Amino acid sequence: MSCSVAQCLEVVGEWWSMLIVRDAFLGVTRFDAFQERLGIARNVLQARLTKLVDAGVLTKTAYSDRPLRYDYRLTDKGRDLWPVLTAMRQWGDRYAAPYGPPLQVVHNGCGHVCDVVLTCAACGDSVGPGDVTVADARPGLIPLRDGARG
Amino acid sequence: MSCSVAQCLEVVGEWWSMLIVRDAFLGVTRFDAFQERLGIARNVLQARLTKLVDAGVLTKTAYSDRPLRYDYRLTDKGRDLWPVLTAMRQWGDRYAAPYGPPLQVVHNGCGHVCDVVLTCAACGDSVGPGDVTVADARPGLIPLRDGARG
């Protein structure tokens, strides 16, 4: 499927993958620490870590030879998932956090709690689904209805 | 799991769910149209649609009595997934679209292709993972390392 959303899901669409990426952003690097935080079966965690390494989202670097142990760290490609993670967090904070957001994210620059808004890189205005028009950039590949809007 | 990312994944974390939401944004409302576009088994599609309706992301409204047929449309809660979808699309465009982005999204306000940047709602500056500090808003619930940064 050529859709870029689908391509993103190919890499991080398995349930645990995005939570591994979340924990990597929070500074977790080691298998046992991921395992303890996520409460995930070790073989599932290993499979997800391997997939994320293969996809170029994480790197693994040995920090111990005997036994052989690795640190897992985000690549630039992995760090570029921050907007996805942040958008998910904000949606969850809004719709599924009856006791308030579990994490407080503060913008270092201004010191305020960092609610993120999406803005147009060209003009700086905030953008939402009603502010854009979606067209098929490669006609024939994706059947879109005429006049469909994002 | 109290994490808001996990709560978001609970609703849209199954592979097809986010693609259904994507197609709903593109104007698709009917079962057969989702099925044709996604190439998904009908029972899987029905299960995902039902879950999205139960979660308040989609509404279903009968458009035909005999046979009974429904339109599925995004609720406000569903439309608020647009930042998640957009962030996924941009990541996929950047890292998994060797022939260029399959969709062209134009900002109606300025007429430019709409690359979206995340900005702080309080001060308007663009924000990335290095610009924020993450703290546990409800100590005890989520073990975070001291000084962990988002």
A42-100 pLDDT, tens digit each: 999 999 999 999 999 999 999 999 999 999 999 999 999 999 999 999 999 999 888 88
| pLDDT band of B147, cuts 50, 70, 90 | very low
Domain boundaries in chain B?
Answer: 4-80
Query: A136 in helix, strand or coil?
Result: strand
Element (H, E) at B136: strand B132-136
- Chain B residue numbers with beta carbons less than 8 Å from the beta carbon of A135 are 103-104, 106
Q: What is the mean pLDDT of residues B1-18?
A: 84
Q: Which helix (H) or strand (E) holds A117?
A: strand A116-120
Could you please report the per-residue DSSP string of A31-76? HHHHHHHHT--HHHHHHHHHHHHHTTSEEEEEEETTTTEEEEEE-H
Mean pLDDT of A1-11: 82
Q: Do B22 and A3 touch (CB under 8 A)?
A: yes
B41 Cα to chain A: minimum distance (Å) = 16
Stretch B85-111: mean pLDDT, rounded? Answer: 92
Asked whether residue B150 carries a pLDDT value surpassing 70, the answer given is no
How many angstroms separate the CA atoms of B35 and B42, rounded? 7
Nearest-Cα residue of chain A relative to residue B87? A84
Residues 114-143 of A with CB under 8 A from B: 114-123, 125-129, 131-138, 141-143
Residue of A30, A95, A144 best to disrupt the B interface, most CBs of B under 10 A: A95
How far is A90 from chain B, CA to nearest CA, in Å?
Answer: 7
Mean pLDDT of all residues belonging to chain B? 89
Which chain A residues are Cβ-neighbours of B73 within 8 angstroms? none
Q: Select from A5, A97, A125 the Cβ nearest to the Cβ of B109.
A: A125
What average pLDDT score do residues A31-48 get?
A: 94
Residue B138's pLDDT band, with cuts at 50, 70 and 90, is: low
State in words which class domain B4-80 has.
Answer: mainly alpha
> How far from B60 is each of A148, B19, B64, B114, CA to CA, in Å?
20, 17, 12, 31
Q: What is the mean pLDDT of residues B94-119?
A: 92
Which of B40 and B140 is assigned the larger pLDDT? B40
pLDDT of residue A139: 59
Answer whether B105 touches A (CB < 8 Å): yes
Quick one: tokens of A106?
A: 């503060």
What pLDDT sits at residue A150?
A: 35
Of B91, B73, B75, residue with least CA distance to B24 = B73
Given CB atoms, is B32 within the 8 Å cutoff of chain A?
no
Per-residue pLDDT reduced to its tens digit, A99-142:
888 889 999 999 999 999 999 999 999 999 999 999 877 655 44
Q: What is the mean pLDDT of residues B30-52?
A: 95
Quick check: A10 pLDDT over 90?
no
Instruction: Inspect the interface and report whether the beta carbons of A105 and B79 lie closer than 8 Å.
Output: no
